[in-house]
Chain A
Amino acid sequence: MKRAIRIKDRHMWVFFVSPGVLLLILVLGFPAITSLSYSIKPEQAGPVSYTLSNYMNLLKDPFFSRTFWNTGIFVFLSVASHMVLGLAVAMVLNTALPAKPLFRLIALLPWVVPDVVAGIIWKWMYNPIYGAINDFLLRIGLINTPVEWLSNPALALFSVILVNLWRGFPFVMLILLAGLQAIPRHLYEAAGIDGASRVQSFFHITIPGLRKMIVVALALDIVWEVRRFGLIQAMTQGGPGVLTEVLSTYTYKQYFQFFRFEYASAIAVVMTVVLLLVSLPYIWMISQEE
């Protein structure tokens, strides 16, 4: 041990945490504050410098409530389907399976396509007249008339979610797979000897063992899906009507298409606050001592 200044071990956290904190403050802090301050500026230059009028307008905005609702459905269904499919595939990949590396690779493939590109490609595949999907379904006789995936009001949002599932489940699968690998085999063996069924093992060993990973995956996925933008923008631009408009596309529109910087900032503030509230339980859980 060197005879240098001995920093008490319990203060060492500073060295570990500060690089990250500094980076976040320097790079994101200033833009965040600048932008958020826009939300309390009036839209038309006038006598007042600060106003809550943007937030008032939000409450009166007929599109905003619909957008909020769509975002809720989109996020809920996307995250839920990611978790279910991701867990199912991870579990299958955790068993004895021939050619496992190959299947793992296939399950990861959708993830390597950027979401904007995925949106462009799937939109083309969804085309009623010359899209690959309708063509395939017609050829194998599953449908008789072309399905209007992105125009039919009943289908539009779900068609987008289907693409989001394709694109997003590998991430959850990967996290859960890593978590599954960490559950010691002997726990299952012991349970098997004790006469536990597969279902019981699942609920009493697998799920508890994965708890931390599930929380991490859930928290991340929820935040990411609320922010999902390129995919939806490329596929529908929020249409038809406002059926697939979500908070992120709505903010983008207000900012870059209508040049309503102040209003867009207010929407962003609302988004941020909602996200914070939603993730509070996770922050709590993840910061518990093990």
Chain B
Amino acid sequence: MRKIRTIGICAAVLLVAFSFSSAMAAQVSLRFSDWHLTEDVWNKSLNEGMDIFHKRNPNIKVTLEPVSYGEKETKYTVESMAGRAPDVFHVHAFSLPMFFSKGFAKDLTPFIKKEGPGFMDAWYPLPIKLMKHKGRVHAMPGDYMTMVLFYNTEMFKAAGLDPNKPPKTWDEFLAYAKKLTRDTDGDGKVDQWGFGTLGSKSPGFSMRFGPFLWSFGGDYLTPDMKHSALDSPKAKEAFAFFVELYTKHKVVPPGMTAMGAQDVRTQFAQKKVAMILGSGWTPPIVNKINPDLRAFEVLKAAPAPMKRKQATAIWLSSWVMSPNTKHPKEAWELLKFITSKEIELKWFVDNRVTSSRKDVSGVAPEILNDKFASVMASQLPYGKVEPQIKQWPEIIDTFTTSLQEAIVGMKTPQKALAEAHKRINAILAR
């Protein structure tokens, strides 16, 4: 009798302990990292998104780990090397080849298969292509935007230009820029310039040079990505045109090589430049810098000017699941959520960033009716992306070095570009 009772009590205890522990085990903790958490502009929206996720998934707790934009690669690299990267983190698409090559991004194909056929059809083909490594999907596409030309309609009018007729070609653009570079207060010194652009080594640079290079018909590398294509006449033309905007025509403010994206937006917001290349994030940020500008009214967007064909650069961000995650299933739920149609639309409504989902960017009335987003969405078919190889960061750094040397006058554009061509070939030959 005693024995049965003891066994019974033991069994009951075990049962309770088991159910207790499985209830506890059901509470899963995920680490999520995103630079948007440190950017005022997007922080709120992301936090709201997380609240929604928590409501729908009470057994998952997501800890938010902010990281600044400039530091994210450093941090994720160090953490991945030690097998301690966040479960889900946000990077640019152009970092992906590097992360893929080191095995820092988990293969998502099994999860996608489980979602059923056609799951990936909701996205544009180019973003999906960029998420693939050796044919398998290793990241989920996020924000997808194009670089377009922003201009200040009031400054156009003041210079005698029609704000409804933005420049369509690069030659027209140069003519406009010259007219917009002038002395507005009569003291004999130019205090307004036609075009503001980056010249410093930052991730945003190649996005703003691409529209020049590609629409002239040139490219960085040959299609097989084994050699530099910068010795083509078209590439030389594009390079010289860009450099001469600063050195010869002086339509760009001084100190270009020290200017980052933030500096250019400040110049734009303070009416020091009349045109810049930008994307979805530009109007809200410019507005915050100088509310008196009334950015949403005064600014307009137009497709990036072209030379021989319409082409512009895309911005694509992506979400990675770390291979060291202890909860891949839950991490997948999080990934699915933040790239879902509902949340992608929310990103747009809150932050003006368009999505890599066709069923959002191509269709949503909010986007089609927005004067900026509609232009960006219209350019998506012309979007091109930089070569997706792991040497890309080194290649663009070498290229920018040569560009800077040409801009500050240390070398002629021809010589600088020839050097870049040689060095890039050396990098690829390794």
> Do A242 and B101 have beta carbons less than 8 Å apart?
no
Q: Tell me whether A236 is interfacial, beta carbon within 8 Å.
A: yes
Q: Tell me whether B155 is interfacial, beta carbon within 8 Å.
A: no
Chain A residues with CB under 8 A of B390: 259
Instruction: Answer whether A153 and B409 are a contact pair too, CB < 8 Å, given A148-B255, A237-B200, A239-B200.
Output: yes
Cα–Cα distance between A63 and B398 once the two chains are bound (Å): 10
- Which of B58-66, B208-216, B399-407 forms contacts with chain A? B399-407
Cα–Cα distance between A238 and B408 once the two chains are bound (Å): 14
Chain A residues with CB under 8 A of B263: 127
Residue of A nearest to B76 (CB): A256
Among A63, A153, A239, A258, point to the contact of B201 (Cβ < 8 A): A239
Among B101, B393, B408, point to the contact of A152 (Cβ < 8 A): B408
> Do A240 and B405 have beta carbons less than 8 Å apart?
yes
> Do B254 and A129 have beta carbons less than 8 Å apart?
yes
Q: Tell me whether A114 is interfacial, beta carbon within 8 Å.
A: no
Cα–Cα distance between A260 and B427 once the two chains are bound (Å): 12
Q: Tell me whether B288 is interfacial, beta carbon within 8 Å.
A: no
Cα–Cα distance between A259 and B408 once the two chains are bound (Å): 29
Cα–Cα distance between A43 and B102 once the two chains are bound (Å): 12
Chain B residues with CB under 8 A of A260: 394
> Do A128 and B201 have beta carbons less than 8 Å apart?
no
Cα–Cα distance between A150 and B258 once the two chains are bound (Å): 6
> Do B410 and A153 have beta carbons less than 8 Å apart?
yes
Chain B residues with CB under 8 A of A228: none
Task: Point out which of B189, B253, B401 has the most chain A C-beta atoms below 10 A from its C-beta.
Answer: B401
Query: Would you list which residues of chain B between 231 and 277 have a CB under 8 Å from chain A?
Result: 253-258, 263, 266-267, 270, 272
Q: Tell me whether B73 is interfacial, beta carbon within 8 Å.
A: yes
> Do B253 and A128 have beta carbons less than 8 Å apart?
yes
Instruction: Answer whether A129 and B255 are a contact pair too, CB < 8 Å, given A240-B407, A259-B98, A259-B102.
Output: yes
Chain A residues with CB under 8 A of B410: 153, 240-241
| Minimum Cβ distance to chain A for residue B229 (Å) | 21
| Minimum Cβ distance to chain B for residue A152 (Å) | 7
> Do A237 and B408 have beta carbons less than 8 Å apart?
no
Binary contact readout B365-397 vs A (1 if CB under 8 angstroms, 0 otherwise): 000000000000000000000000011011001
Residue of B nearest to A144 (CB): B189
> Do A238 and B272 have beta carbons less than 8 Å apart?
no
Q: Tell me whether B169 is interfacial, beta carbon within 8 Å.
A: no
Q: DSSP majority for the A interface?
A: loop
Residue of A nearest to B99 (CB): A259
Q: Tell me whether A209 is interfacial, beta carbon within 8 Å.
A: no
> Do A241 and B401 have beta carbons less than 8 Å apart?
yes
> Do A257 and B257 have beta carbons less than 8 Å apart?
no
| Minimum Cβ distance to chain B for residue A252 (Å) | 8
Chain B residues with CB under 8 A of A240: 199, 257-258, 404-405, 407-408, 410
Q: Tell me whether A151 is interfacial, beta carbon within 8 Å.
A: yes
Chain B residues with CB under 8 A of A236: 258
Q: Tell me whether B6 is interfacial, beta carbon within 8 Å.
A: no
Among A62, A127, A259, point to the contact of B101 (Cβ < 8 A): A259
Among A146, A239, A256, point to the contact of B401 (Cβ < 8 A): A239
Chain A residues with CB under 8 A of B74: 256
Cα–Cα distance between A256 and B253 once the two chains are bound (Å): 31
> Do A237 and B201 have beta carbons less than 8 Å apart?
yes
- Provide a sorted-by-A list of 9 A–B residue pairs whose CB atoms are within 8 angstroms: A43-B430, A44-B430, A130-B270, A239-B200, A240-B258, A242-B401, A256-B74, A257-B394, A258-B397
- Further contacts, 15 of them, CB under 8 A, given A129-B254, A258-B394: A43-B430, A128-B255, A128-B258, A130-B266, A145-B189, A150-B258, A151-B258, A153-B408, A237-B202, A239-B400, A240-B258, A242-B401, A256-B74, A258-B397, A260-B394
Which B residues form the contact surface with A (CB < 8 A)?
Answer: 73-74, 77, 98, 101-102, 189, 199-202, 253-258, 263, 266-267, 270, 272, 390-391, 393-394, 397, 400-402, 404-405, 407-410, 423, 430
- What 3 pairs between A and B have smallest CB-CB spacing? A128-B255, A240-B404, A240-B257
